[in-house]
Structure 1
């Protein structure tokens, strides 16, 4: 059976001061579109996977521009609902040297935030679909969306569709208590969970103590005790110097952890790196890669995203494969 993947969430307009300026000093912004599940959809489409994105966007020029940003990379936009008055916006100050990144959201009252259950016919949307992906950001946007996500997951499970969720806890969107309440119900229907330590602590208060050596394994084991996950995956960055980071990933399945090799890298743009990891993981899973090969591919996808400006990971599956498994490194491709 041919794989078809649905991702569901909010695509936003991202505004970033040019030249790494601060908000208070900038006079112009770089404008691109992005959002967790949209980023994952674009990555999968670039990998050659049949992928559709579901959201709600206003019927105006900005909404259409967001749709076009997906269409140009081959994402199926036929199930995008039109309505509402505005698109969500986020402002980003990029991390520079010791100055951390800073995000300011302007998404209250966006088209997707005001969406209702009647906007999405999941029986129709899920026709011929084999995989459904969303993140914890989506149910955090509004109570309506929390209910819509739960309904979508229930229908997906009834149809034997694989469900994956990137927990992606955002404290600026909801409290840990609210996230725990909502995600504890939704996760009953999730097969593959992507979660880092911040997600586990912020949502489920799974906090490995300082005596725990393998923290990611501990988190995966604790999550699998609570929920019927088939796999828990994670990716993390470790700062080695002001400009150099180590990137590594893990998948945990069938009682065993598999770790990727690390990459040491400079970062052009880190936004969307976790979404690139999700796409790499989904792609490797549907290609029936064994777990070690799966985590290597997914980590390499995330690594390459750090070299691409904007939210979308504009690389091919062949490029990811070469990084993950070729000994040629980053030599010129001729």
Structure 2
């Protein structure tokens, strides 16, 4: 019985070794990941019973994706099988002033061809307390958006807390379509998670006096963004990650949380990046963990940011850290000294 259920797409990630460019590579490392799958793995590593729901092809590649989740203790019981293929993305890691690049090959993926009858949400949510999805999932097609809406309705009817990371992807849909679809889903969301750009790209709500290219992030502007989001959609909490990009190798990393009464800002970390993919997902998982365990708003935020800070030091999509490691960093031990 899962306490947290996540729904989305898991993909095959193919990446050149180290910092090689695509045009240099003669081999690719294969791993699996995707927004909501990454959240489920993080939570499982924290000791939470987590289930991931998706659809994968009924072939060895689909099975390999399922196995990648099972090895971390994620429940895969409700994954549907069928469809043509597993989505793929190619990831080239950036360094210094050269940005990372992602190329998607996900058209006609199994989840994009899913049908409502593939998922029995009453059965999936039995005994669960939390449901999480991202804005990537409904962007995969009108049919997937309808499934996400059906899941949200069932979750609310059954008393689950619902969280959503807006996660706007311009190569999947336009801002206009995103605003229309996501606006309908937000009616069922309790906890909204966004980054510096999502609120603007999806709902046209922009932080004043902020320039993400230069790394200038205005706290007062993000307070206003969070307040507008809460007023428009009646969220119980709004979290916004704040990334100050110094280069592809070094970022400043922090976040804020608004609970309707107070605004909380985390401590800021200077992060030297090993792999930034999944950074937002690890934040979402950390926030869910903290709120599930009745942490205060401030403590839940600090746990989430510390968890995500650590993720930036780990190769691959998923965050392979323990609760004690996160708590140690959140408490101020960021020395990186050898532990013996």
TM class by smaller structure: over 0.9
Kindly indicate whether the alpha-carbon contact (under 8 Å) linking 1:231 and 1:251 is maintained by their aligned counterparts in 2: yes
Superposition deviation, residue 129 in structure 1:
0.8
Corresponding residue number in structure 1 for 2:213 = none
Corresponding residue number in structure 1 for 2:180 = 181
Aligned runs of 1:1-334 on 2, under 5 Å? Answer: 4-210=3-209, 214-240=220-246, 243-327=249-333, 329-334=335-340
Cα distance 1:53–1:300, how it changes in 2: closer, same or farther (>3 A)? same
Kindly indicate whether the alpha-carbon contact (under 8 Å) linking 2:242 and 2:256 is maintained by their aligned counterparts in 1: no
Secondary structure of 2:200's aligned partner: helix
Any unmatched runs of 5+ in structure 2? 211-217
Kindly indicate whether the alpha-carbon contact (under 8 Å) linking 1:42 and 1:313 is maintained by their aligned counterparts in 2: yes
Instruction: Pick which of 323-332 and 83-92 moved more.
Output: 323-332
Cα distance 1:84–1:203, how it changes in 2: closer, same or farther (>3 A)? same
Q: Distance in 2 between matches of 1:241 and 1:173?
A: 26
Superposition deviation, residue 98 in structure 1:
1.2
Cα distance 1:3–1:64, how it changes in 2: closer, same or farther (>3 A)? closer
Any unmatched runs of 5+ in structure 1? none
Kindly indicate whether the alpha-carbon contact (under 8 Å) linking 2:18 and 2:93 is maintained by their aligned counterparts in 1: no
Superposition deviation, residue 214 in structure 1:
1.4
Q: Distance in 2 between matches of 1:252 and 1:291?
A: 8
Kindly indicate whether the alpha-carbon contact (under 8 Å) linking 2:9 and 2:34 is maintained by their aligned counterparts in 1: yes
Kindly indicate whether the alpha-carbon contact (under 8 Å) linking 2:46 and 2:322 is maintained by their aligned counterparts in 1: yes
Q: Distance in 2 between matches of 1:228 and 1:328?
A: 36
Kindly indicate whether the alpha-carbon contact (under 8 Å) linking 1:168 and 1:195 is maintained by their aligned counterparts in 2: yes
TM-score computed with the length of structure 1 as normaliser: 0.96
Cα distance 1:31–1:191, how it changes in 2: closer, same or farther (>3 A)? same
Instruction: Pick which of 12-21 and 32-41 moved more.
Output: 12-21
Superposition deviation, residue 92 in structure 1:
1.0
Superposition deviation, residue 24 in structure 1:
2.1
Cα distance 1:242–1:47, how it changes in 2: closer, same or farther (>3 A)? closer
Superposition deviation, residue 251 in structure 1:
0.8
Cα distance 1:304–1:38, how it changes in 2: closer, same or farther (>3 A)? same
Q: Distance in 2 between matches of 1:4 and 1:37?
A: 15
Superposition deviation, residue 242 in structure 1:
6.2
* 1:67-106 CA-partner distances (Å, limit 9, x unpaired): 0000000001111111112100011111222111111111
Kindly indicate whether the alpha-carbon contact (under 8 Å) linking 2:96 and 2:247 is maintained by their aligned counterparts in 1: no
Superposition deviation, residue 19 in structure 1:
2.9
Q: Any runs of at least 4 consecutive aligned residues in structure 1 with deviations exceeding 4 A, and if so which?
A: none
Q: Distance in 1 between matches of 2:9 and 2:207?
A: 32
Cα distance 1:213–1:277, how it changes in 2: closer, same or farther (>3 A)? closer
Kindly indicate whether the alpha-carbon contact (under 8 Å) linking 1:3 and 1:286 is maintained by their aligned counterparts in 2: no
